[in-house]
């Protein structure tokens, strides 16, 4: 019985598995800042810090923060067509009835830019300041 095909298949699997682990473990961890703003409730902004792997997505940083800090909680809805949608932050959820939602912004030198994608796609840069702004449409 020729064991070469099985050995080659095993070796191929091992190489693919090792490449994925090396790429993941070799990635830089990027610090980011997060601020939660809810002027509708007249509350003070809440500042947090987290991190994301280089090339990683914002929702990963939010999950990491939620695990590490009891003061930060969030929920998302997984829309089958559009992906993850930020539903609530710290117990405050957007509402169709009240026409409220969590606006995602990036702040740099006092300039605010609305993110063009959601938490499931956005890749933060090192030291980026992300603002979750509860607002109306």
Kindly state whether residue 91 falls inside one of the protein's structural domains. yes
Parent domain of 94: 28-136
Kindly state whether residue 107 falls inside one of the protein's structural domains. yes
Number of domains observed in the structure of the chain: 1
CATH code for position 108? 2.170.130.30
0.75 surpassed by pTM: yes
The mean of the pLDDT values for the chain is 88
Closest C-alpha among 115, 56, 113 to residue 86 = 115
Which residues does residue 89 pair with via DSSP β-bridges, in sequence order? 74, 92
Kindly state whether residue 38 falls inside one of the protein's structural domains. yes
Kindly state whether residue 35 falls inside one of the protein's structural domains. yes
Kindly state whether residue 6 falls inside one of the protein's structural domains. no
Residue-wise pLDDT tens digits, 79-98: 999 999 999 999 999 999 99
């Amino acid at each position: 019985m020729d064991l070469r095909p099985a050995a080659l298949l095993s070796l191929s699997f091992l190489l693919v598995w090792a490449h994925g682990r090396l790429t993941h473990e070799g990635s830089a961890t990027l610090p980011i800042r997060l601020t939660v703003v809810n002027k509708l409730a007249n509350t003070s902004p809440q500042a947090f810090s987290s991190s994301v792997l280089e090339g990683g997505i914002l929702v990963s940083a939010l999950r990491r923060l939620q695990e590490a800090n009891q003061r930060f909680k969030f929920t998302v809805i997984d829309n089958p067509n559009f992906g993850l949608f930020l539903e609530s932050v710290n117990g405050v959820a957007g509402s169709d009835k009240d026409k409220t939602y969590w606006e995602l912004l990036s702040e740099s030198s006092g300039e605010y830019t609305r993110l063009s994608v959601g938490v499931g796609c956005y890749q933060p840069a090192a030291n980026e300041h992300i603002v979750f702004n509860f607002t109306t449409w």
